[in-house]
Chains A and B, each alone.
Chain A
C-alpha cells in the first residue's frame, strides 16, 4: 500500500517525462552524433569522430553569428524600451481594465506569426506610403529602402517578440507597491531618482525574465530575416535551415546548431550571474 502511494507521482509523471526525454533530450544526442560525421550529400555521411566540424562551422559562419547577436540584441533593447512604459501604463489602470488592456496588447499576436511578418513586408514595401513618410522624415535616404535591410529585420524581430517582454515586466510591475514610490517622493526624491532607485530595482526580475525570453528566441529566429531581409541579412538560423533542408549537409548543420546552443547557454549563464548581482543590490537598496 505504501509502495503504491510512493509510486503514484512517478506514474503521473511518467508519460510526460518519457515523451520529453524521448523527443527533446534524446534528439540532442543525435544532433551531436550527426555533427561528428563527415562526407557529402551525394555519397552519404559516415561517423568518424569529426570534431573538426565544430570549429569549421564556426569559421564559415562567423558573420551570421555576429549578425544574429547584433540583431537580437538591438531588438531586445528596443522591445524593452517599448514594453516597459506600456506595462507600467497598464499596471496603473484600474483593475477592471487591466485584464482587458493586457488582452488588447496580446490580441494582435493571435494572427499567425508568418502572416504578421508578411503584413510588415507589405507595410514596408518600397512603394508603400509608410516608406514615403519615413523618407520625408529623412529617417530613410531618398533612394533607399526599408525592406531587405537590417532595419527591417530588427523591426520585425522587435515587433514579433514584444509580448514576451511585456508580460513578464507587467507581472513584475503589478507587484510594485506604489507606496514605496510615494515614500521616496516624500523623502524629496525626484521622479527620476524614485524611478531609478525604487521602481527599477523592484521590477528588475521582470526585466531579467523578459530580456531572456526575448533574446533567446530572437537569436535563433530566421523567419524575419527570410521574409523582411535580403541576402545580406541572413542570421544563423537561416544558415542552419539552409544546411538542413536545402543543402542536406547534416554534419555541418548539426554542428552549427550545437554551437548556437552552446553560445546561448554561455550568454544565459553570464547574464543570470550579472542580473542576479544587480537584483541583489536592488533589494539591498530597498532594505535601506
Chain B
C-alpha cells in the first residue's frame, strides 16, 4: 500500500519536486550567480591579458592567444616606475600608519582619559568622509602653503587615511584580549615594557599584520586622494588612469592579474595562519586526572 502511494506520488510530483528543489536551493543558486557576476571583470582582465593586439594596446575584441605581454610584463618603463613608486609609497605608508595606529588603539582600549570620545570621533571621521573631500581639503592646504606636491605629500596623505583603518582592526582584537597572560607575566616580575614586548605584542601580532596588510592594500589602490595630491609623481593607479584615456598597454592587464594573484595568495596565507593558530591554541594538556 505504501509502495503504491509512493509510486503515484512520484509520477504526479516530478515537476513539483523540481520546483521544490529550486525553491530550496534558490538561495544557493542566487549566491552562485552573484559571485559569478562579481568575478566577471577579473576574468575579463585576465583573459584580455593574453590577447594579441596590433598596437600593443588594449583592444575591445578578442584576438589570438599570446604570452607576449606576460613575458614582457615589465617592458614599459613608465609602468615600472609607477609600480615602484606605488610599492615604495605603500611600504612607507604602511609602516607609518601601522605604528601610529597600533599605539592609538592601545590608548583607546586600555586607558580612560579626557578626550577619549573626541579621539574616537577623530578616527571615525576620515573613514566616513568621501575620498574626494579628504583629497580636496589636503590639496587646499598644500595650495595655501604653496607646498610642492609630490612623493612627500602623497606619503602624508596615505598615512593619514590608513591610520583609522589600522586602529579599527587592532582595536577589535584588543577588546577581546585576555589580560590574564599579561598579569601572569607581571606577577613573575616583568616590567610593563617587557610585558608589552614579550607577551602583548606577540599575541597582538596577527591583528597588527592584518592591519598592515589592509593599510598596504589601501595605499596601493588609492586613486582619488593621490590624484589630488601627487603633482607629477605617478603611482600605479594614476598611471592606469592616464593611459586609460589613450590606450591601455596590455601589460597593465597582466600586471593587474599578477597583483590579484599575489594578494589572494597573501590573504589565503593569513587565513590559513589564523586557522593554525586557533588549532594550536586549542591544544591543551589534559587536566591532571583526579587521584583515584
The residues in B between 1 and 48 inclusive whose CB is less than 8 angstroms from any CB of A are 27-28, 30-31, 34-35, 37-42, 44-45, 48
B181: Cβ under 8 A from any A Cβ: no
Contact, CB under 8 Å: A108 / B39: yes
B76: Cβ under 8 A from any A Cβ: no
Contact, CB under 8 Å: A23 / B138: yes
Contact, CB under 8 Å: A219 / B130: yes
Q: Whole-angstrom distance between the alpha carbons of A215 and B99 in the complex?
A: 31
A184: Cβ under 8 A from any B Cβ: no
Q: Whole-angstrom distance between the alpha carbons of A257 and B228 in the complex?
A: 13
Beta-carbon nearest neighbor of A219 in chain B: B130
Looking at B66-74, B200-208, B261-269, B284-292, the stretch in contact with chain A turns out to be B261-269
Q: Whole-angstrom distance between the alpha carbons of A16 and B211 in the complex?
A: 15
Q: Say how far A115's CB is from chain B's closest CB, in angstroms.
A: 4
Contact, CB under 8 Å: A23 / B27: no
- Our pick among A17, A28, A159, A240 for the contact of B119 (Cβ within 8 Å) is A17
- Our pick among A30, A162, A241 for the contact of B227 (Cβ within 8 Å) is A241
The residues in B between 133 and 187 inclusive whose CB is less than 8 angstroms from any CB of A are 133-134, 136-141, 143-144, 156-157, 159-160, 163-164, 167
| B interface residues, how many (CB within 8 angstroms) | 81
- Our pick among A10, A23, A217, A219 for the contact of B156 (Cβ within 8 Å) is A23
- Say what secondary structure dominates the interface of chain B: helix
- Say what secondary structure dominates the interface of chain A: helix
Instruction: List chain B residues, Cβ under 8 A from A110.
Output: 217, 259-260, 263-264, 267
B240: Cβ under 8 A from any A Cβ: yes
Q: Whole-angstrom distance between the alpha carbons of A118 and B223 in the complex?
A: 14
B244: Cβ under 8 A from any A Cβ: yes
Instruction: List chain B residues, Cβ under 8 A from A132.
Output: none
- Our pick among B27, B112, B123, B129 for the contact of A261 (Cβ within 8 Å) is B129
CB-CB under 8 A for A16 and B101, given A10-B113, A123-B44 = yes
13 contacting pairs across A/B (C-beta < 8 A): A10-B113, A13-B104, A23-B156, A25-B122, A105-B35, A107-B267, A112-B256, A127-B61, A219-B130, A223-B224, A227-B244, A240-B132, A245-B227
